[in-house]
């Protein structure tokens, strides 16, 4: 009896010795500290240039020249640089040029790219796989390889120094990009709906227009905005084809025009860079999740 | 009310109604997959052949001639342009720079991206904020963000030098863009700054696909954090790391604006890449033939990487 009650009184499992617990907790603390420090360093690394940009654009002119000795002591904030940027430079013209080019090129690229994406994603025919490979390779070819002969082609078409040159040439990366992104979208759609429409007597083309296109519409809208950002970011073609400052997009105009001799108007330059980046940042803040899933789907799932 | 409801139900189906027989027969070949497939791809094929294929052929042709901007007569000169380049010390330097720039930056981006992803994977709070903060350099057009770096690299006004002095690492001024070694490091830094987040975000997505059971089993078996990374997580990530690294190689190899805006290839050609030297020669210098030859030097490496990329992706798809 005594042995039984004694056994029952014993705790079922010995508690871990307190020393290990403290060690574990300390290890966990060290781990969390390491992660916090890493995240802080990365955040400073990625964001500091933007913070510095904003701070520079808001400082007074005289403050800017003392930046070497006391970079973080700000004697007063001013919107003077932004006022000068908008009234005394062609910043608004450059922005308008960027808008015209990005909107037209993206729209035209959609008209060409969406049918191609449907064809690649939905239809089986000889050579389809080869077309897919060519599209992907074309998308990867950098402007650095093609800008010199492209300049000759643009001049032959009498498009030198026009926005039309940019709209035309941007199709070379936009169309493959759209076809590539949307073909996997078309592939992921259920085929049953379109098949049902075809049994009802609709032609393949009609089934595409009426059934499949509305279903990929969210993808089309997102891809349009990504195409827009690609145009907005482009620099080399714009620098090559467009020489007069009136016709340059933001990315090129800002850099070229604000350098007077060897002196840069740093306040205006930083303000312009911030404003010029704003449209793309806004687009991404709305579409980040979609962008990431599209971006990673290709890499992760293959 | 009821009539309207019925209308709405019928409405969407109306376009699917069969077309009149005559029109149907004339266009019936479009109902077969092959003709329709080709027809829908045709506009894109015109763009790709006319605006990518044709210029690509032109590059090769120009590089074998003496074509320059404004000259009407063009004559075939064989491999002269290439042979001249191989004799040119500036070009040799440029080739080395391109190699150095690309390999260093891609490897640094891979390592930083991996660390970024591993750290971010452990974070529960403010995840969205961190993701957005890390992606910002990737999103902002680099021709604009590079201006901030240019300002930070101004020898006399550099906030980076100031910070270095405060920490005690730096004495006096650093010639960020004025001296060959510093200038190359500076342009590489900007490229890494812009590209590492891309690696980080892709690898983070890859980490989410590592089965939890595997990691937990390793913990039970007493594997240290390093062993778990080395023997469980990294092998699982390899395909993603390969794809994203190859993609970055292509992008970095074709990089132009960071060097062009920051250093213009200087000081004394010490940071010229193939792309910037081609621009200076072929566009600013109007020597289309030589410029074409220079830019064509990226092609073999580019083609090899793209071929590798396609092979990897196809193998993964199977």
pLDDT of residue B270: 93
For residue A89, being part of any structural domain is answered with yes
Q: d(Cα B201, Cα B112) in Å, to the nearest integer?
A: 11
Specify whether A55 is located in the same domain as A153: no
**Among partner residues B37, B116, B140, which is closest to A277 by beta-carbon distance?**
B140
Q: d(Cα B239, Cα B235) in Å, to the nearest integer?
A: 8
Specify whether A27 is located in the same domain as A165: no
pLDDT of residue A7: 47
Which residues span the domain enclosing A30?
17-78
How confident is the model over A65-84, as a mean pLDDT? 78
For residue A1, being part of any structural domain is answered with no
Q: Could you say which of A78, A97, A128 is where a domain stops?
A: A78
Contacts of B120 in chain A (CB under 8 A): 39
For residue A9, being part of any structural domain is answered with no
* A288 with B119: Cβ contact below 8 A: no
Specify whether A73 is located in the same domain as A90: no
Contacts of A143 in chain B (CB under 8 A): 254, 256
Residue A66 has pLDDT above 90, yes or no: no
Specify whether A120 is located in the same domain as A172: yes
* A179 with B38: Cβ contact below 8 A: no
Specify whether A119 is located in the same domain as A50: no
Q: Could you say which of A78, A101, A116 is where a domain stops?
A: A78
- Residue A105 burial (10 A CB sphere; 0-12, 13-18, 19+): buried
How confident is the model over A110-114, as a mean pLDDT? 97
For residue A130, being part of any structural domain is answered with yes
Contacts of A133 in chain B (CB under 8 A): 310
Q: d(Cα B61, Cα B69) in Å, to the nearest integer?
A: 15
Specify whether A95 is located in the same domain as A237: yes
Collapse the DSSP code of B172 into the 3-class scheme (helix H, G, I; strand E, B; otherwise coil) and give the result: coil
DSSP state letter for A260 = E
Residue A76 has pLDDT above 80, yes or no: no
Specify whether A74 is located in the same domain as A55: yes
Domain count, chain A: 2
pTM of the complete model: 0.87
Select the highest-mean-pLDDT range: A92-101, A120-129, B170-179.
Answer: A92-101
| Residue B313: both structure tokens together | 């992706």
How far is A114 from chain B, CA to nearest CA, in Å? 9
The DSSP code sequence of A154-176 is HHHTT-TTSHHHHHHHHHHHHHH
Residue A263 β-bridge partners: A260
Smallest Cα–Cα separation from B42: which of A121, A108, A115?
A115
Q: d(Cα B181, Cα B164) in Å, to the nearest integer?
A: 18
For residue A208, being part of any structural domain is answered with yes
The confidence band for A118, taking pLDDT boundaries of 50, 70 and 90, is: very high
The confidence band for A21, taking pLDDT boundaries of 50, 70 and 90, is: low
For residue A275, being part of any structural domain is answered with yes
pLDDT per residue over A203-232, tens digit each? 888 888 888 898 889 889 989 999 999 999
Q: d(Cα B77, Cα B72) in Å, to the nearest integer?
A: 16
| CB neighbours of residue A52 within 10 Å | 19
B291 to chain A: nearest residue by CA?
Answer: A148
| Residue A131 zone, left/alpha/beta (φ > 0; ψ -120 to 50; rest) | alpha
ipTM value > 0.95: no
Q: Which residues of B228-237 are buried (b: 16+ CB within 10 A; e: fewer)?
A: bbeebbeebb
pLDDT per residue over B80-124, tens digit each? 999 999 999 999 999 999 999 999 999 999 999 999 999 999 888
Q: d(Cα A80, Cα A60) in Å, to the nearest integer?
A: 8
A88 or B99, greater pLDDT: B99
pLDDT of residue B281: 94
pLDDT per residue over B60-83, tens digit each? 999 999 988 877 778 899 899 999
Residue A159 has pLDDT above 60, yes or no: yes
Specify whether A119 is located in the same domain as A35: no
pLDDT of residue A289: 78
pLDDT of residue B8: 41
pLDDT of residue A6: 43
Specify whether A43 is located in the same domain as A90: no
How confident is the model over A8-18, as a mean pLDDT? 51
pLDDT of residue A12: 53
Collapse the DSSP code of B115 into the 3-class scheme (helix H, G, I; strand E, B; otherwise coil) and give the result: helix
H helix intervals, chain A = 2-9, 18-58, 61-64, 80-88, 91-122, 128-140, 143-156, 163-188, 192-199, 204-207, 213-233, 236-241, 250-257, 266-296
**Is the N-terminal amide bond of B267 cis, ω within 30° of 0?**
yes
For residue A230, being part of any structural domain is answered with yes
**Among partner residues A43, A270, A296, which is closest to B202 by beta-carbon distance?**
A296
Q: Which residue has the tokens 């805006």?
A: B261
For residue A4, being part of any structural domain is answered with no
The confidence band for B11, taking pLDDT boundaries of 50, 70 and 90, is: very low
Say which range, A278-292, B43-57, B287-301, has the weakest mean pLDDT.
A278-292
Contacts of B317 in chain A (CB under 8 A): 302
pLDDT of residue A2: 42
Q: d(Cα B184, Cα B316) in Å, to the nearest integer?
A: 36
B308 to chain A: nearest residue by CA?
Answer: A137
Return the ∠ at Cα B152 (arms to B270 and B250), rounded to 5°: 50
Q: Could you say which of A62, A78, A94 is where a domain stops?
A: A78
CATH code, domain with A198: 1.10.3720.10
Rg for chain A, CA atoms, rounded: 29
Per DSSP bridges, beta strands A263-264 and A259-260 are: antiparallel
Specify whether A159 is located in the same domain as A51: no
| Residue A216: both structure tokens together | 């990929």
Contacts of B202 in chain A (CB under 8 A): 295-296, 299-300
**Among partner residues B132, B139, B239, which is closest to A280 by beta-carbon distance?**
B139
Rounded percentage of chain B residues whose pLDDT exceeds 90: 56
Specify whether A112 is located in the same domain as A218: yes
The confidence band for B6, taking pLDDT boundaries of 50, 70 and 90, is: very low
| CB neighbours of residue B26 within 10 Å | 10
The H-or-E segment that residue B299 falls in is helix B299-317
B177 or B19, greater pLDDT: B177
Residue B14 has pLDDT above 80, yes or no: no
What average pLDDT does the structure give for chain A? 85
* B116 with A252: Cβ contact below 8 A: no
A71 or B136, greater pLDDT: B136
pLDDT of residue A193: 84
| Residue A165: both structure tokens together | 């040159």
Residue A263 has pLDDT above 70, yes or no: no
Specify whether A149 is located in the same domain as A274: yes
């Amino acid at each position: 009896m005594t042995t039984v009650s004694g056994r029952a009184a014993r705790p079922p499992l010995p508690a871990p010795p307190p020393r290990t617990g403290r060690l574990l907790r300390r290890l966990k603390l060290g781990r969390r500290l390491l992660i916090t420090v890493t995240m802080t360093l990365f955040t400073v690394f990625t964001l500091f240039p933007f913070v510095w940009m904003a701070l520079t654009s808001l400082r007074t002119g005289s403050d800017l020249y003392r930046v070497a000795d006391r970079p973080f002591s700000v004697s007063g904030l001013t919107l003077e640089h932004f006022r000068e940027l908008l009234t005394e430079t062609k910043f608004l013209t450059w922005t308008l040029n960027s808008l015209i080019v990005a909107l037209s090129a993206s729209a035209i690229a959609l008209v060409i790219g969406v049918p191609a994406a449907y064809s690649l994603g939905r239809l089986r025919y000889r050579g389809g796989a080869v077309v897919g490979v060519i599209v992907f390779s074309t998308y990867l070819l950098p402007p650095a390889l093609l800008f010199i002969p492209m300049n000759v082609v643009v001049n032959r078409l009498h498009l030198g120094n026009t926005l039309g040159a940019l709209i035309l040439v941007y199709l070379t990366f936009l169309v493959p990009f759209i076809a590539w992104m949307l073909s996997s979208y078309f592939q992921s759609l259920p085929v049953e709906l379109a098949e049902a429409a075809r049994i009802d007597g609709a032609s393949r083309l009609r089934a595409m227009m009426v059934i499949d296109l509305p279903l990929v519409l969210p993808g089309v809208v997102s891809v349009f905005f990504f195409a827009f950002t690609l145009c907005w970011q482009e620099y080399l073609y714009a620098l090559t084809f467009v020489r007069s400052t009136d016709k340059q997009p933001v990315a090129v105009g800002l850099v070229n025009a604000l350098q007077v001799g060897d002196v840069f108007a740093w306040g205006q330059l930083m303000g312009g860079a911030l404003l010029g980046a704003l449209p793309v940042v806004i687009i991404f803040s709305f579409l980040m999740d979609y962008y990431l899933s599209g971006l990673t789907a290709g890499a992760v799932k293959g | 009310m009821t009539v309207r409801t019925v209308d709405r139900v019928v409405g969407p189906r109306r376009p699917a109604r069969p077309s009149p027989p005559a029109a149907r027969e004339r266009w019936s070949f479009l109902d077969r997959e092959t003709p329709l497939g080709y027809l829908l791809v045709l506009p894109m094929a015109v763009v790709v052949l006319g605006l990518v294929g044709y210029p690509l052929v032109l590059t090769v042709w120009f590089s074998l001639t003496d074509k320059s901007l404004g000259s009407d007569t063009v004559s075939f000169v064989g491999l002269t342009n290439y042979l001249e380049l191989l004799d040119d010390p500036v070009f040799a330097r440029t080739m080395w720079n391109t190699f150095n720039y690309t390999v260093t930056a891609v490897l640094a981006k891979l390592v930083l991206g991996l660390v970024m992803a591993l750290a971010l994977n452990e974070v529960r709070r403010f995840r969205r904020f961190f993701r957005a903060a890390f992606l910002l350099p990737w999103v902002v057009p680099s021709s604009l963000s590079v201006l901030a770096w240019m300002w930070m690299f101004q020898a006399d006004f550099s906030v980076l030098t100031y910070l270095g002095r405060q920490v005690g690492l730096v004495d006096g001024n650093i010639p960020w863009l004025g001296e060959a070694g510093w200038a190359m490091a500076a342009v590489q830094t900007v490229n890494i700054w812009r590209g590492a987040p891309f690696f980080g975000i892709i690898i983070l997505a890859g980490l989410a696909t590592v089965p939890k059971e595997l990691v937990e089993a390793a913990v039970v078996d007493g594997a240290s954090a390093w062993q778990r990374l080395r023997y469980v997580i990294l092998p699982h990530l390899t395909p993603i790391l390969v794809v994203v690294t190859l993609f970055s190689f292509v992008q970095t190899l074709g990089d132009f604006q960071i060097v062009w805006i920051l250093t213009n290839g200087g000081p004394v050609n010490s940071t010229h890449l193939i792309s910037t030297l081609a621009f200076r020669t072929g566009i600013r210098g109007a020597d289309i033939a030589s410029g074409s030859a220079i830019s064509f030097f990226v092609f073999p490496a580019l083609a090899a990487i793209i071929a590798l990329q396609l092979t990897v992706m196809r193998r993964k798809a199977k």
